[in-house]
Amino acid sequence: MKSKTYHLLGLITLFLSSCATMQIDVPNNELVQHKVKGSQGIRINQTVSFDDYQTQYIKRSWNKSHKRAFGFSNGEETVMIGGKKKKNEMTFVLTSATTGTSEVFMSNALRSRNLFFNSGDKVQMEAERYRKKDSLQNNCYAHIYLDDAEKPWLMQVNNAEVEMYKDGIVGKIMLDTDNYYTVKTVIKTKPKSISKIPVGFQFENKQGEIVGAISLIDNGTIFLKKSNEKEKLLMSSAALVLLLRDDFVD
């Protein structure tokens, strides 16, 4: 689903709701809204900012180069998946004066013809053996490094489930089995939802508490809790991944 769909949806719903300001409906009044600037328009030297967060750079790797693998866990083993070309990859650094710096490597909508797959024993296998594993290919993957951490948070979002307008869990952000968040779609808006197309995502901790969200309407709006600065940096980075995930070419 392309970001233009969300922008068109925003215009239609805005008109039908008598010019009222539309926003996603996140059931947590403790979250503070931060309007995003710079998410649309010219891509050269692009800078995205919200609150006291700002990207140092956003690099889009459309040209061929070295391979990069993205790791994730399926609950039983850790696997690596990636593209042989950097056509669908992006890197950005997000900084904040209060919460620190994150470095993010992401890839979206990998295609089987450029896919490689590594199992836990480091043996590389040809992509043709995994053509039926659409759930591996049509995903958004990201590695999120907070400050100078050696181990990244692993993020995975199933694009196919999002595109089917699934209302519920579509991904996970995971450091280990004890530290993780789930990614859920948001289909309700304020003041009134006209369409069932997902217009944002929310992040829930393992206790089921909503600790962040991202609205895809217009330039985007990021919702963050006031407390826990490191968590805010992680949620901000994950939100930016979801805001930029459609910014790829096939």
Residue 238's pLDDT band (cuts 50, 70, 90): very high
What is the pLDDT confidence band of residue 81, given thresholds at 50, 70 and 90? low
Segment 30-71, tens digit of pLDDT: 899 999 998 876 667 789 999 999 999 998 864 444 455 565
Average pLDDT of the segment spanning 87-108: 87
What's the Cα-to-Cα distance from 144 to each of 77, 141, 187, 188, rounded to whole Å?
Answer: 20, 10, 26, 28
What is the pLDDT, as a whole number, of residue 200?
92
- Residue 86: pLDDT band (50, 70, 90) is low
pLDDT on residue 67: 53
**Mean pLDDT (whole number) for 156-179:** 85
Rounded Cα gap, residues 162 and 246, in angstroms: 12
Query: Whole-angstrom Cα distance, residue 113 to residue 25?
Result: 39
Ramachandran bin of 76, using left for φ above 0, alpha for ψ from -120 to 50, beta for the remaining angles:
alpha
Predicted confidence (pLDDT) at residue 73 exceeds the cutoff of 70: no
What pLDDT sits at residue 28? 82
Q: What is the mean pLDDT of residues 211-233?
A: 92
pTM: 0.77
DSSP assignment of 85-126: SGGGEEEEEEEETTTEEEEEEEEES--GGGEEEE-TT--EEE
pLDDT band at 148 (very low <50, low <70, confident <90, very high): confident
177 vs 101, higher pLDDT:
101
pLDDT at 103: 93
